[in-house]
């Protein structure tokens, strides 16, 4: 569930840019050391005992997942996972710019009614002052409440079952003009299979306005984006089903689901529309997304929308 990727450094954020090819020189030992440093710094910032315990549990879960996903400790995926977790612990964006004010992940881990295990992370400004900063924090708190509300069941779990409600958060992009963040979760309380959910928030950093689809596109631009995603989703379904007839998705379906900016994440170099696993078929069809490069989106977007200007080179820095 943790989707944590690279960390670019840019001059606009007051940091020195690096060339991405130098990433190959990173070692397992260096990235592990950086994770330990980031973990210790975050632990020292946390004052509540229950949150410190939750951080430790999340760290252990991350280590266990790494052992399962990358059993070879020298594999490149180990270095990548270390980088991703280190950036998350430091409150950076997934593509890596430092936010204008300090952000850190807030951790929750508890057992609710019916022995439902609840775990969550929230990326929040530590000392919010502007409307935009308060908007992000309020969004994260609302999503935590959503996760808590899902942690209920009429029937207790069997001995073989573990009920849970989980939520992870990420910063996708941040600049003086735009902040894009997302929460993804899933829960299991006895239904046929775990149910995933998710929502994005996109904030105008200068005004604090939570941006909507009409802020991004006019009618003409929207139609072109709908057509672009219609073609992409249709191809995804045909590839999944290996059946041309099964790839049929109506333009009306695409239009309805794409016109909610709560499904959009603005990242470094592209926007991603997340439709979820139930959008165009059953649970077994898998997640569906439309990736829209800014080279496609920028000519269609309204000039007033704070779209990221360009793709930024990414490279980690150790200190």
The dihedrals phi and psi of 156, each to the nearest 5 degrees, come to -70, 155
Instruction: Tell me how far apart the alpha carbons of residues 203 and 201 are, in angstroms, rounded to a whole number.
Output: 6
At residue 262, the pLDDT reads: 96
**Helices (H) then strands (E): counts for the chain:** 8, 8
Q: How many C-beta atoms lie closer than 10 Å to residue 61's C-beta?
A: 13
Distance of CA 205 to the CA centre of its chain: 19
Walking along the chain (319 residues) 10 residues at a time, the average pLDDT comes out as 33 31 62 94 96 96 91 83 91 85 95 84 97 98 94 80 93 95 93 90 97 98 97 75 60 94 95 83 67 96 91 49
pLDDT value, residue 21: 37
Closest among 211, 210, 183 to 197, alpha carbons compared: 183
Q: Are 255 and 240 in contact (CB under 8 A)?
A: no
Check residue 89 and give its pLDDT. Answer: 96
Q: What is the DSSP letter of 155?
A: S
- For residue 85, the SS3 value is helix
Evaluate whether 191 touches 157 at the Cβ level (below 8 Å): no
Which secondary-structure segment (H or E) carries 199?
A: strand 195-204
How far apart CA 225 and CA 219 sit, in angstroms, is 10
């Amino acid at each position: 569930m943790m989707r944590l990727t690279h960390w670019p450094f840019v001059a606009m954020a007051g940091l020195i840019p690096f060339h991405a090819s130098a990433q190959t020189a990173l070692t397992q030992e260096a990235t592990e050391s950086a994770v330990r440093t980031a973990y210790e710094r975050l632990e020292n910032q946390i004052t509540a005992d229950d949150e410190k315990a939750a951080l430790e549990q999340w760290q252990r879960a991350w280590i266990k997942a790494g052992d399962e996903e990358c059993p070879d400790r020298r594999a490149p995926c180990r270095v990548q996972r270390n980088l991703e977790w280190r950036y998350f612990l430091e409150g950076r964006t997934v593509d890596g710019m430092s936010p204008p004010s300090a952000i850190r992940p807030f951790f929750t881990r508890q057992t609710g009614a019916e022995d439902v295990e609840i775990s969550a992370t929230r990326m929040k400004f530590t000392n919010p002052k502007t409307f935009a900063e308060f908007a992000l924090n309020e969004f994260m708190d609302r999503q935590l409440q959503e996760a808590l509300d899902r942690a209920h069941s009429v029937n207790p779990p069997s001995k073989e079952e573990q009920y849970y409600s989980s939520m992870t958060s990420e910063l996708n992009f941040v600049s003086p003009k735009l902040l894009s963040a997302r929460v993804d979760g899933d829960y299991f309380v006895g239904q046929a299979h775990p149910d995933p959910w998710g929502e994005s928030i996109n904030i105008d950093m200068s005004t604090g306005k939570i941006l909507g689809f009409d802020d991004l596109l006019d009618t003409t631009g929207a139609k072109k984006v709908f057509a672009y995603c219609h073609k992409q989703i249709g191809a995804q379904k045909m590839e999944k089903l290996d059946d041309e007839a099964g790839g049929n998705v109506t333009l009306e379906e695409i239009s309805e689901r794409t016109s909610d900016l709560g499904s959009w994440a603005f990242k470094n170099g592209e926007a991603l529309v997340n439709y979820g696993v139930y959008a165009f078929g059953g649970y077994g069809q898998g997640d569906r997304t439309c990736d829209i490069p800014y080279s496609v989106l920028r000519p269609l977007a309204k000039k007033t929308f704070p779209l990221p200007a360009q793709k930024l080179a990414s490279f980690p820095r150790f200190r």
